[in-house]
Structure 1
Amino acid sequence: MSKALVRLYPAAYRAAHGEEILDVHREMTADLSRPARLRADADLAAHALRVRLGLDPASPAGRFFALAAPFALAAAAVDSGLYLARWYAGLVLSPAPVRIQLTTMDGAWILYVLLSLLVCAGAVVALTGRWARGAGAAVCGLLGTALCGIFATPAHREGPVAPVAALLTVAVVLACPPGRRGDRRLSTAAGAMAAVGWFPVVVVDAGAYTGALGVTTEYGAWPVLVLAFTGAVLAWRARSSGLWELGAMAVASPPLIAHAYTDAWGDLRPVLGIFLLLPLAAVLTASFRRVRRRH
């Protein structure tokens, strides 16, 4: 089994390190139980695939996905959190008793609510210091919501956009190299982005400031705007052109784009305009950086 797993590494890497990897793996798994050995084999296979795809911690791709992964989790939490807030508001504002509503809910809705809670809880746990457990829970929730969207689509998630966004987010989170997971600075920034992207929309949805602002909906633009602004701030602090940071934000944005698509009732025009916020932020950041250098 170990020899077969080592073959997953690229030929050059296998020729240079294959025997060493095989010896270390055999020594580590010699006294393990069968379940623990299977987990070790899975870790070895995952490492081989990351090396083959160029996703080791030192590679540019590895560093890129390490930057994008916390924000992908945060974006998924915002999307699921907004759905849960709207579902709860509808539950409370409905004239029917809450108990009656809960007991008559469709099974697909109940499952989607529970999976959305798992995504939010997992993202919070991951971004507050327990990356492995939290990200694992969030990934399970995202995979579950994707399956719900494919096989038992609730009315609010018609179409393939939400399942595709969930699967893309899972790919981004899993692509983050283990050695770069749980960066405290990035996790804090991602958590702040999620809070700022979620709370004002919930307030507006609740009607607290709708009359004062004269707004009934932002078509999902606010969370994407917050994500773009966060990328620009990271670029400013790193003194970079912004292309790297805003690129990572674009990779992290599918849950928010799916949310915007739902808010716009499937109209692609506002969604395309919202997505342009990210390249526009990159251009403005790069231009501002050039102006600063000249002066």
Structure 2
Amino acid sequence: MSDPLIRLYPAAYRAAYGQEIIDVHREMTADMPRPARLRADADLIAHALRVRLGLDSASPTGRFFALAAPFALAAGAVDSGLRLTRWYAGLVLSPAPVWVQLSAVDGAWTLYMLLSLLVCVGTVIALTGRWGPGVGVAVCGLLGTAVQWAVGARVYDDGAVAPVAALLTVAVVLACPPDRRGDRRLSAAAGAMAAAGWLPVVVVNAGAYTGAFGVTTDYGAWPMLVLAFTGAVLALRMRSPGLRELGAVAVASPPLVAYSYTTAWGDLWPVLGVFLLLPLVAALTAFFQAVRRRR
């Protein structure tokens, strides 16, 4: 292995583990064909950069993003799923024939719906046990929505908010250390959060009733409330003060903030109120934990 690769590691890490890394890498790649060796070098470079950035599985930051990544995916799927089902509900409830409506849909909007579908499908695949392929599909959908906005496609009601949220979600998901991806319990919790955040809003949009379990879905409040509640439940189960768990769901929340912004027709005050749910729930969680410890 060439010196430039090992020098990508921080000096202290290189001094402690550098020779071991060199020996293992040489032994592993000794009989590999050139393409496989290049992939191994790429994996080593990625690990070195993660260590340098503090995003490896041994670092607090890496563990934090491992906690946040499934919920970031789930939040992205809720946002994309709500956009899809809102369009579908409008299609079904409109008095115009479906084929007439579909014929009037332009290519940019069709692509946007397909990209949203990719995010939903990829998230389901990732959270049900195939993290790598699922994340690949979801990331393609998220990056596609950002590229669509960058090239000037007029499909967004919220300007740059949705594509920025998509890029932040991609960053959170990719920051998760490779050996901490696909945790079953976290994936199950994220999947339950996505279902609970999506289904009541769909029922409301379909006109079945006007409130979800007594909580209004106006201004996109319901998905954010479910996400905040999920963070509190995680903190309570882990007997944690809640800062780490609520911080993780806050990092995962940009897609739901974007959805709230769109639902509120660009009014920042309702969105600010929705976003303040997280610190409020964090304070209540910390209070509850303090009371429980005293008992």
Whether these two folds match at TM > 0.5 is: yes
Counterpart in 2 of 1:14? 14
> Does residue 143 of the first structure (1) align with residue 143 of the second (2)?
yes
1:67-106 deviations in whole A, cap 9, x for unaligned? 1111001000000000000111122223333333334322
- Residues 90 and 26 (structure 1 numbering): CA distance in 2 closer, same or farther, change over 3 Å? farther
Q: Is the 8 A contact 1:3 1:22 kept in 2?
A: no
**Segment drifting more, 19-28 vs 118-127:** 19-28
Aligned-pair CA distance for 1:31: 4.6
Q: What 5-or-longer segments of structure 1 have no aligned partner? A: none
Query: Which amino acid is the alignment partner of residue 237 of structure 1?
Result: R
Give the structure 2 partner of residue 90 of structure 1.
90
Q: For residues 211 and 180 of structure 1, do their structure 2 counterparts lie closer, same or farther at Cα, with a shift above 3 Å needed?
A: closer
Output the amino acid matched with 2:39. Answer: R
Question: How do residues 133-282 of structure 1 correspond to structure 2 at under 5 angstroms?
Answer: 133-210=133-210, 217-282=217-282
8 Å CA contact retained: 1:142, 1:166: yes
Please, which runs of 5 or more residues in structure 2 have no aligned partner?
A: none
Once the two structures are overlaid, the 10-residue window that deviates more, 26-35 or 145-154, is 26-35
Partner of 1:113: 113
% same residue: 78
Number of residue pairs the alignment of both structures matches: 295
User: In structure 1, what is the Cα distance between the partners aligned to 2:206 and 2:215?
Assistant: 12
Alpha-carbon separation, structure 2, partners of 1:215 and 1:15:
56
CA–CA distance in structure 2, aligned partners of residues 245 and 98 of structure 1: 44
More displaced stretch, 283-292 vs 214-223: 214-223
Give, in angstroms, the shift of residue 43 of structure 1: 2.0
Q: Is residue 77–residue 119 contact of structure 1 (8 Å, CA) maintained in 2?
A: yes
- AA matched with 2:12: A
In 2, Cα distance between equivalents of 1:110 and 1:28: 47
Distance 1:80 1:210, change over 3 A: same
User: RMSD across aligned C-alpha pairs, in angstroms?
Assistant: 2.2
User: Does the aligned pair in 2 maintain the 1:149–1:157 contact within 8 Å?
Assistant: no
Q: Secondary structure at the match of 2:218?
A: coil
3-state SS of paired residue (1:156)? coil
Q: Please give the secondary structure, in 1, of the residue aligned with 2:120.
A: helix
TM-score (norm 1): 0.92
**Kept after mapping to 1: 8 A contact 2:124/2:134:** yes
How far is 1:169 from its partner?
A: 0.7
Q: Does residue 70 of structure 1 match 2:76?
A: no
Q: Give the equivalent residue in structure 2 for 1:50.
A: 50
Secondary structure of 1:48's aligned partner: helix
Question: CA shift at 1:27, angstroms?
Answer: 4.0
Q: Distance in 2 between matches of 1:249 and 1:265?
A: 24
Contact 1:2 1:41 in 2 (8 A): no
Residue deviations 1:87-126 (CA, integer Å, cap 9, x gap): 1112222333333333432221111111111110111011
Contact 2:204/2:211, CA 8 A, preserved across alignment: no
Deviation at 1:146, TM superposition (A): 1.2
Q: Displacement of 1:62 after TM fit?
A: 1.3
- Conserved? CA contact 1:108–1:152, under 8 Å: no
Kept in 2, the 8 Å contact 1:166–1:255? The answer is: yes
Label 1:151 to 1:158 Cα distance change in 2 as closer, same or farther (>3 A): farther
Alpha carbons 2:108, 2:155 under 8 Å: kept: no
